[in-house]
Amino acid sequence: MTIVSKINQLKREKNAVILVHNYQRPEIYDVADFIGDSLGLCLEAAKTDAQLIVFCGVLFMAESAAILNPGRRVIVPNIDAGCAMADMIDADKLKAFKKKHPDAAVVTYVNSTAEVKAVSDICCTSSNAIKIVKSLPQKKIIFVPDKNLAAYVASKCPEKEIIAWKGYCPVHHYVNKEYIDEIKAEHPNAKIIAHPESKPEVLEVADYISSTSGMIDCAKNDPSDEFFVLTECGMTERLHREIPGKKFHGLCNMCFDMKKNTLESILDSLETERTVVRVDDKIARRARKTFDNMFAVT
């Protein structure tokens, strides 16, 4: 029996669903019930009636699934697959920051821990951040933890005063304008699609700015047949599979945490159910409110 068949059999026996982020290893797509970006995964997690959720992504995503499913068990293939950006802020630091700006609403990117969400007003993802910020009555907005996404949102919401936390994603942050100039020289016909976690100087020259799943729609709808994709390297494989007729070039930047999950660790987590994601009840209830506030807008 192959490892994929074993996973699929256990999935049926345990009434489990496997949710997979776009950046996961391509062989993991083969056991997925749903593959998507953070917003898609949140929505899918919120509506599943499976008893067991196997979350293949990083910890903050699995925590979100647990917060949205208080009665269900959420397991991850690797409990130590975290997010460097999410770890750049904690609840105490955010509380202190809020004290400096008492009249600001706190918008927290989903790439954050449950504790940070629990002391925020509303959360957002890369695909709805602008809509969320525009929906708020406050002019002043504390935006955490990503300074690049915050700058992008600020550029689209001139009516708001965005006060950004200085976090960033190491995978996206080290791409700069010089690199883009090289790409353009090497692939003059390629359209550039960038993730909004990229620096402003990169977003300035991109043809499209989009969440990971939104990139699939951009490439499908654009008549060009060649694209350069500025995000984690796994996205190019995802795009090739979704749109086999077009050409995708990508970065060599890898999110090592996203790549910790393997078919072997998925099978082990399903067999043993050892790696359960636990969020303290009080924190989960408060964090849930920030999701509900987001769902009310989107």
Q: Which residues of this protein are in contact with ligand 13P, per CB under 6 A? A: 22, 37-38, 111, 125-126, 169, 195, 197, 211-212, 232
The distance in angstroms from the start CA to the end CA of the chain is 43
128 binds, among ligand SF4, ligand 13P, none (CB under 5 to 8 A by kind): none
* Position among 4, 84, 91, 218 found at the interface with ligand SF4 (CB under 6 A): 84
Could you say which residues in the range 102-131 bind ligand SF4, by CB under 6 A? 111
What residues contact 187, with CB distance under 8 A and at least 6 apart?
A: 226, 228, 249
Q: How far apart are CA 233 and CA 250, in angstroms?
A: 6
Pick the closer one to ligand 13P by CB: 111 or 269. Answer: 111
Residue 44 binds which one of ligand SF4, ligand 13P, none, with CB within 5 to 8 A depending on kind?
Answer: none
Compare residues 37 and 63 and give the one whose CB is closer to ligand 13P: 37
Taking the least distance from each CB to ligand 13P, the nearer of 69 and 212 is 212
* Residue 162: C-alpha distances to residues 20, 101, 134 (Å): 32, 11, 11
**How distant, in Å, are the alpha carbons of 217, 225, 248 from that of 220?**
5, 9, 12
Q: Is 85 in the site for ligand SF4 (CB under 6 A)?
A: yes
CA distance 140 to 162: 6
- In the complex, what is the shortest distance from the CB of residue 90 to ligand SF4, in angstroms, rounded to a whole number? 16
Closer Cβ to ligand 13P, 211 or 236, answer by number: 211
| Smallest distance, ligand SF4 to C-beta of residue 271, A | 26
- By beta-carbon proximity to ligand 13P, the closer residue of 22 and 275 is 22
What are the helix (H) ranges across the chain? 3-13, 26-29, 38-47, 59-68, 91-100, 114-118, 129-135, 147-156, 170-173, 177-186, 200-203, 212-221, 234-242, 263-272, 281-297
Least Cβ distance, residue 127 to ligand 13P (angstroms): 6
3-state secondary structure of 125: coil
Contact 111, 60 (CB under 8 A): yes
Q: Which residue has the tokens 């600001």?
A: 104
Taking the complex as a whole, how short is the minimal distance between the CB of residue 55 and ligand 13P, in angstroms? 13
**Which whole-number Å values give the CA distances from 28 to 68, 237, 277, in the listed order?**
23, 12, 20
What does the per-residue mask of binding to ligand SF4 show for 193-232, with x meaning CB under 6 A? ----x----------------------------------x
Of positions 54, 142, 169, 219, contacts ligand SF4 by CB under 6 A: 169
Residue 109 Cβ, how far from ligand SF4 at the closest point, in Å?
Answer: 9
In angstroms, give the least distance from the CB of 176 to ligand SF4: 17
Tokens describing residue 196: 């909004």
Closest to 86 in 3D by CA, of 56, 65, 107, 117: 117
The residues that touch ligand SF4, with contacts defined as CB under 6 A, are 58, 83-85, 111, 169, 171, 197, 232, 255, 257-258
